[in-house]
Amino acid sequence: MGTSKSAQLLKRAVKIIPGGVNSPVRAFKAVGGGPLFISRAKGSKIYDADGNEYIDYIGSWGPMILGHAHPKVTAALKKALDKGTSYGAPTELEVTLAGLTLKAFPSMEMVRFVSSGTEATMSAIRLARAYTKRDGILKFEGCYHGHADSLLVKAGSGAATLGVPDSPGVPQDLARLTYNATFNDLDSVRAIFEKAPAKIACVIVEGAPGNMGVALPKVGFMEGLREITKKYGALLIMDEVMSGFRLCYGGAQKIYGIDPDLTCLGKVIGGGLPVGGFGGKRAIMELLSPSGPVYQAGTLSGNPIAMTAGIETLKLLQAKGTYDRLFKTTNALCEGIAEIAARRGVPVHVAIAGSMFTVFFSERPVANWPDAKACDTARFGRYFTKMLKNGIYLPPSQFEAVFVGLAHTPKDIERTLEAADKGLKGI
Ligand code: HOZ
């Protein structure tokens, strides 16, 4: 079956939606061709407007850890819908999800819900600036924390894919307050703090970067960030929007034993509906309006439908053996791809962070953005196109993570590896 309906829809869309998409990562700009328009999804499968079936490894860019339309989540949502979709007033559901969140992330003493990861990081930074009374922030080149102005400086994800890491429209006066260091290089962090010891409000870091592709923190790197931030009186913000429930139930901070001042969440915590959250130490969080003076708000924040999906998802993730199964599936897939690539003579490095991974077309492992940027993106594009033709829906960029979910079956893995055998041949 062809993809003519997607092509027709794209033609209509580009006339009325910039680039035809509502988020740039969805366009296939880096790999060629047009995006598929999706009509439905169930379990591990996604179906385009022409009725083609694909094994989905985007999972809505992370949230669909249980697979699409999980019967328990769907049933809870149907029930919730009958009670109204938004009240603009507090609900018990918000208290329940807040309780589950704090239990999963003991570093957080309080949390506020928002509607996206961008809102979470943007608000956490405002809070850090207010708490420390400093304006500078330090991030890492190639990390992506959503599209707030202060964070679109040397950014990863779609910004890197499309070659606009520093977006026009971000005032220079604001951008100069964003310092960029090299991920996995503590000396680059120290050098910035030494030059501006009392200017930096916070270091913000992805728990396990997935927005330059997956780059794993070296032993001691996260611990080093905690030490340096403490030394200079800056806050440490762990952006666990992606890693939060993907590395384990409790995120990267649990794995690395880090106690950040603030944590940002999103994706899985909303079970496929728009939810973000940021939280941390009480003394910092209580600065937030209406307890304190730092303003932050949202009409749909803590929306009952979104809270319902989040609660059901987190409950299901706590079942015994869930993560063992998830990691077993992920590892089987990654080992299989690495083995095929070696057999086909294609140099790759497969970086795995829990249930996220990236196949880097590179002779050497990727530790930071300069390494990621040096990958053979043209080769990635050829691989992507062949995989898609063989029914495998991967993120359309070398600088993204592949998401494995609990709905992926051994049969899916087998089919994916068969496709990879063809996809890695002669590229
Ligand atoms: N963090 C997501 C992927 N890197 C972003 C998804 C989007 O921009 O739509």
Specify the long-range contacts of residues 338-342, CB closer than 8 Å, at least 24 apart: 340/417, 340/420, 340/421, 340/424, 341/420, 341/424
Cα 394-26-415 angle, rounded to 5 deg: 15
| Catalytic residue selected from 239, 371, 376, 412 | 239
> Is there an atom of ligand 1 within 6 Å of 159 CB?
no
CA of 194 to the centre of ligand 1 (A): 33
Q: Quote the DSSP letter at residue 384.
A: H
Which sequence spans correspond to the domains of the chain? 4-69+320-423, 71-317
> Is there an atom of ligand 1 within 6 Å of 158 CB?
yes
CA of 168 to the centre of ligand 1 (A): 19
Which alpha helices (DSSP H) does 105-215 contain, by range?
117-132, 157-161, 172-175, 186-195
Domain spanning 4-69+320-423, CATH architecture = Alpha-Beta Complex (3.90)
- Is residue 239 annotated as part of the catalytic site, yes or no? yes
What is the structure's pLDDT at 146?
A: 98
The model's pLDDT over 284-321, given as tens digits with 9 standing for 90+, comes to 999 999 999 999 999 999 999 999 999 999 999 999 99
CA of 161 to the centre of ligand 1 (A): 11
> Is there an atom of ligand 1 within 6 Å of 116 CB?
no
Q: Does domain 71-317 have CATH number 3.40.640.10?
A: yes
> Is there an atom of ligand 1 within 6 Å of 107 CB?
no
CA of 25 to the centre of ligand 1 (A): 6
Residue of the nearest CA to atom 2 in ligand 1? 61
Mutate to test the pocket of ligand 1, among 143, 157, 164 (most ligand atoms within 8 A of CB): 157
CA of 231 to the centre of ligand 1 (A): 33
CA of 181 to the centre of ligand 1 (A): 22
Residue 108 half-sphere exposure, CB side, CA atoms within 13 Å?
Answer: 29
Which alpha helices (DSSP H) does 345-376 contain, by range?
369-373
What is the structure's pLDDT at 163?
A: 87
Written as one letter, the residue type at 50 is D
Q: How far is CA 363 from CA 109, 316, 348, 380, 391, in A?
A: 44, 39, 6, 13, 27
The model's pLDDT over 70-92, given as tens digits with 9 standing for 90+, comes to 999 999 999 999 999 999 999 99
Tokens matching residue 5:
């309906």
| Catalytic residue selected from 29, 139, 199, 267 | 267
- Is residue 131 annotated as part of the catalytic site, yes or no? no
- Give the strand pairing for 356-360 and 349-353: antiparallel
What is the pLDDT tens value at each position of the chain, 427 positions in all? Answer: 799 999 999 999 999 999 999 999 999 999 999 999 999 999 999 999 999 999 999 999 999 999 999 999 999 999 999 999 999 999 999 999 999 999 999 999 999 999 999 999 999 999 999 999 999 999 999 999 999 999 999 999 999 899 888 999 999 999 999 999 999 999 999 999 999 999 999 999 999 999 999 999 999 999 999 999 999 999 999 999 999 999 999 999 999 999 999 999 999 999 999 999 999 999 999 999 999 999 999 999 999 999 999 999 999 999 999 999 999 999 999 999 999 999 999 999 999 999 999 999 999 999 999 999 999 999 999 999 999 999 999 999 999 999 999 999 999 999 999 999 999 999 9
| Catalytic residue selected from 54, 131, 144, 323 | 144
> Is there an atom of ligand 1 within 6 Å of 289 CB?
no
Stated pTM of the model: 0.97
- Is residue 187 annotated as part of the catalytic site, yes or no? no
